Amino acid sequence: MCDLKFEAERMDPFLIKAIQLLLSLSLLIVLHEFGHFIPAKLFKTRVEKFYLFFDVKFALFKKKIGGTEYGLGWLPLGGYVKISGMIDESMDKEQMALPPKPWEFRSKPAWQRLIIMLGGVTVNLVLGFLIYMMVLFVWGSSFVGPDDMPQGFAVADEFKAFGFEDGDRILSVNGEEFENSVDVNRYLFMRDVNNITVIHQSGEEETISIPEDIGSQMFQEGVMQPFVPIQNAVLDTVVADLAASKAGLKKGDSLISVNKQEIGYWHELAPITAENKEKEVEVVFKRDGKIMSLMVTPDEDGLLGVSSKRDFNVQTRKYGLGESIEAGFSYGYWTLHDYVAQFKYVFTAKGATQVGGFGAIGGLFPDAWDWQGFWLATALISIILAFMNILPIPALDGGHVMFLLYEIITGKAPNEKFMEYAQMLGFFILIALVLFANGNDLYRWLFE
């Protein structure tokens, strides 16, 4: 593990993210398919193929063991198990035209077929929860309490209208103590927040009511980070070969002004550079007690390639084995809750443009190799896969589950021809969604 981390530190961040994404998806896909494979075998159902990635026309590797062909495809868009006598993406019409055999999926009782189809989703969901439990047990959880950030938050103007002030520290949300202050933006966006109790810099405590539709307001107005920790404008990291580094800025430089606008705190920098994308601006700063200035050109994203020195304390909470199980379950539950909650924003004109594909998923992983970050991203993706796969879309597990529940309730299976057409429709819907999501990634990469 140490050698892998050492080698990874010398790699390009894009390559590091790509390797983590491939490793994570490979693990999750294989375990998901085992979720179908194991109950199929338990119910004596023949599994013809077990593949990581798709073997369109040919496979990179394949070997037949005990009646099942195991292989590695060349198209990294998922994986599959081909179960005998099942209408799936293989669209094996010849097999379905023959009389049912005892070992085929279609010959098994509906309840057994339901368990087989739910196996993959169940594995992904349980795996996500187990990873969170493991991460909390090994690394613990980080949090920032109100006493850990004496300068408090810089507050967006839209939230100052509610009564918040720059320098506020958060004490409680909905009347309950709020342990991790930096989680407040996610809570406002994803959860039902009715009120927030803060302590102003004056020392006065105040409970401020929050509008019921605050998440929608944040989304429509583009105020996704209304609370940003106040930090001094001192450079901590200057990324090599990016704008600031090329201009000559160094770690430890204390910013004074940018484009003739005074910089008192770190959060005041981003709006100025965002307004001056690819335009040369003057940066005035203090270095070793001397006032100096340089001309810097923010990149196409309005970034300089710098980060600030952290001015607040991050604490770590450690968990015993039993505590990590309870806390990990809670973490997994709220992760699933928040992911489902954000779908109300996806089904809007603006939300549709935010949908991402493999590029967005890869962005979940850290730039440098970090096992804690890798496992946290893997757990999140596992839970996302569980939710997405259970959606009632033909060609997904949820589509099969939907038709099986119909059969169990009515006592009558859907017509095979109808199932074939539904499978084809679902497949085309999935392809369209994949193209749309990855098209959004490409557009953002090219034009934003």
Residues 177 and 258 in one domain: no
Average pLDDT estimate for 174-179: 92
pLDDT digits (tens, 9 = 90+) for 307-334: 887 878 889 999 999 999 999 999 999 9
**Is residue 276 domain-shared with residue 395, that is, in the same domain?**
no
Asked whether residue 208 falls in the same domain as residue 171, the answer is yes
CA distance 188 to 75: 40
**Is the pLDDT reported for residue 134 higher than 90?**
yes
In this prediction, residue 24 has a pLDDT band, given cuts at 50, 70 and 90, of very high
The reported pLDDT for the residue numbered 94 is 65
**Domain match, 325 and 404 both:** yes
**pLDDT tens string 358-396:** 667 777 788 778 899 999 999 999 999 999 889 888 878
Could you tell me whether strands 169-173 and 195-199 are parallel, antiparallel, or unpaired per DSSP bridges?
Answer: antiparallel
Degrees, nearest 5: CA angle 389-391-394: 85
* 68 domain residue, yes or no: no
Which of 229, 247, 275 is at the close of a domain?
229
Q: Which of 183, 198, 229 is the last residue of a domain?
A: 229
Range in 133-142, 270-279, 355-364, 368-377 with the lowest mean pLDDT? 355-364
Residue-level pLDDT at 358: 63
Mean pLDDT, residues 94-103: 75
136 class by beta-carbon count within 10 Å (0-12 exposed, 13-18 middle, 19+ buried): buried
Q: Classify 334 as helix, strand or coil.
A: helix
Tokens coding 407: 């059969």
pLDDT score for 436: 67
pLDDT of amino acid 79: 86
Identify whether 424 is part of a domain: yes
Task: Say whether both 418 and 352 belong to one domain.
Answer: yes
Residues 176 and 214 in one domain: yes
- How many distinct structural domains can be found in the chain? 3
Residue 201 and residue 251 in one domain: no
Q: Please state whether beta strands 227-229 and 153-155 pair in parallel, antiparallel, or not at all (unpaired).
A: antiparallel
Instruction: Name the 3-class secondary structure at 399.
Output: helix
Phi/psi at 75 (5° precision): -100, 105
> How many CB atoms are located within 10 Å of the residue 175 CB?
10
Q: Name the percent of the chain in helix, strand, coil, to the closest 5.
A: 50, 20, 30
Considering the domain architecture, whether residues 153 and 131 belong to the same structural domain is answered as no
The yes-or-no verdict on residue 7 having pLDDT over 50 is no
Domain-embedded: residue 66 = no
Q: Quick one: 285 and 160 in the same domain?
A: no
In a domain, 78, yes or no: no
| First-residue to last-residue Cα distance in the chain | 36
Q: Which amino acid is at 123?
A: V
**Domain-ending residue, one of 278, 308, 338:** 308
Whole-number percent of the chain with pLDDT over 90: 46
Token pair belonging to 223: 């105020």
CA distance 104 to 395: 19
Positive or negative, the CA dihedral 340, 341, 344, 345 is negative
How confident is the model over 280-309, as pLDDT tens digits?
999 999 999 999 999 999 988 788 888 887
Q: Are residues 125 and 220 in the same domain?
A: no
Q: What is the CATH number of the domain that holds 287?
A: 2.30.42.10
The answer to the question of residue 65 being in a domain is no
Least confident among 18-27, 150-159, 313-322, 435-444: 435-444
CATH code of the domain in which 189 resides: 2.30.42
pTM of the full predicted structure? 0.82
Residue 343 inside a domain? The answer is yes
Looking at the fold, whether 422 and 377 belong to one and the same domain comes out as yes
* Maximum distance among all Cα pairs of the chain, rounded to whole angstroms: 87
Among 126-135, 264-273, 417-426, the range of highest mean pLDDT: 126-135
**Is 54 a member of any domain?**
no
pLDDT (tens digit per residue) in 41-95: 999 999 999 999 888 888 899 999 988 999 999 888 788 899 988 876 555 566 6
Q: Structural domain of residue 359, as residue ranges? A: 1-46+84-140+318-447
pLDDT of residue 5: 46
Residue 224, domain member (yes or no):
yes
What confidence score (pLDDT) does residue 9 get?
Answer: 46
Pair 89, 122 in one domain:
yes
Mean per-residue pLDDT over the chain, rounded:
86
